[in-house]
Amino acid sequence: MRTGSMDDPAPGGLWNAFVAAKKDYNGHQAAFHQQVRDRTAVLARALDQGGWDRATALAYMAEFGGDTLPLLPRLVELSLSHGLAGDVRAAIAGVPRDDLLPALEPLVLDRLVAADDDEYRRLAELLDHVRAWDALARLLDRARASGDPRIRDVAAEYE
């Protein structure tokens, strides 16, 4: 691939190559969405692969949330990773809200039984990101009642 400087928008320049790659990406994304029968299985494997597979799956789910709900338990787990949290939150936020909220709350609240302060914080950030206010209130109530002062600090951060 021939590339030029950003100051040179001539054919073969970096900007034109970038535009062509984005167009190609969108075409492949549409074909995947329209032609692959079990997208959820493909996305699940990609999440487990890591690297570019995981990043691409998360970007896809952020745009097309209809395939994401069955993967919610795995996504909640991945949301605890500092490096992945933002992309995972965007993928989870792609799920239609009426489907997301009833499924997300029990997954998050069940994790709190053995959660440390960092997990409480990541889960609170997830609930805040998707505007799951009732679930966030329950998480913060549990944090306030914790015997661990670091977990109680999570609740204090939201006051």
The pLDDT tens digits of the residues spanning 60-99 come to 999 998 889 999 999 999 999 999 999 999 999 999 999 9
- In single-letter form, the type of residue at position 132 comes to A
This prediction's pTM:
0.86
Question: What are 112-156's pLDDT values in tens digits?
Answer: 999 999 999 999 999 999 999 999 999 999 999 999 999 999 999
User: How far apart, in whole angstroms, are the C-alpha atoms of residue 137 and residue 54?
Assistant: 31
On the CB side of 31, CA atoms within 13 Å amount to 6
Nearest alpha-carbon partner for 46 in 91, 105, 107: 91
